[in-house]
Structure 1
Amino acid sequence: MVKKQPDRAVLITDAARSQDAQFRSRQIRYVSMMSIRAACLIVGAVLISVRPPWLPLWLTLCAAGMVFLPWAAVLIANDRPPKSKAERAADALAREPKPQVTLPQHSPESTEYLTIDLEPTETGEHWIPADPRDKR
């Protein structure tokens, strides 16, 4: 028996949508909201010519749509999609303080320093290079 393949693709990653896909969806939301604003303007003009009952109420609603929709459209179009659970968890881990590794403290008097000098020492010894082929 042959198993039928699903008609849609399966999501196999937790990666966010691409920047182009996000931009495209924001463009669609912006254009649709501005189209509703244009429709409010046209409906307002038609209502003035028809003079239906409760005309001031309908004109107030159309005017409110024409004023507030551009503001809301810009806010929504500039907003990024909400973070996924994985992104929020990664942000929380990044904010956690990391344990600081401290090295043991030594006083300068107790530390022995190695001095390499090419001049002969008091005992007459010379510095010997680590590689015997290095003859400086």
Structure 2
Amino acid sequence: MARYGASHEEGSPGNPVLITEAEASFEDQHRARVRKYLTIMVFRFPALIFAAIAYGIWANPWVSMGIIALSIPLPWAAVLIANDRPPRRASEPSRYDGRSDAPALESQRPYTIDG
């Protein structure tokens, strides 16, 4: 129930939605996720180049392998971070309310078919 009565629902001319409560548009959210993905992935290629340079400078394969090992999970982390959605607000409905009006399958009587 709206606080001003039934005639003033949220988003109506009498009770507009505050702009501070408005979510970012889908395009803005997508752009931000792409930016995060690209920012993380930008570090992968230079890490591989740096591993080759480090091997050329120090001739130590362990340093190069360490740099490469640190760059391996970057695509996985970039995808996880880029696919993350904004946190759900408390006002959003939950998909599962914990109630079930239907009886469980085990509690139903078995059906018998007489031939």
Normalised by the length of structure 1, the TM-score is: 0.51
CA-to-aligned-CA distance 1:104-128 (integer Å, 9 cap, x gap):
xxxxxxxxxxxxxxxxxxxxxxxxx
**Secondary structure of the structure 1 residue equivalent to 2:88:** coil
Report if the CA contact (8 A) 1:40-1:63 is conserved.
yes
1:60 aligns with 2:71: no
Q: How far did residue 61 of structure 1 move?
A: 2.8
| Aligned residues: CA RMSD | 2.7
What is the rounded CA distance, in whole Å, between the counterparts of 1:45 and 1:85 in structure 2?
Answer: 50
Normalised by the length of structure 2, the TM-score is: 0.59
Which stretches of structure 1, 4 residues or longer, exceed 4 Å deviation after superposition?
none
Q: Percent identity?
A: 38
User: Match for 1:22 among 24, 29, 44?
Assistant: 29
Give the unaligned 5+ runs of structure 1.
1-10, 98-136
What is the rounded CA distance, in whole Å, between the counterparts of 1:17 and 1:82 in structure 2?
Answer: 12
Q: How far did residue 21 of structure 1 move?
A: 0.7
**Secondary structure of the structure 2 residue equivalent to 1:48:** helix
Q: How far did residue 66 of structure 1 move?
A: 2.4
CA-to-aligned-CA distance 1:51-80 (integer Å, 9 cap, x gap):
16xx34432331123210011111111121
| Number of equivalenced pairs | 84
**Secondary structure of the structure 2 residue equivalent to 1:95:** coil
Q: In structure 1, what residue type is equivalent to 2:67? A: C
Report if the CA contact (8 A) 1:37-1:65 is conserved.
no
Residue 74 of structure 2 is matched in structure 1 by 69
1:43 aligns with 2:50: yes
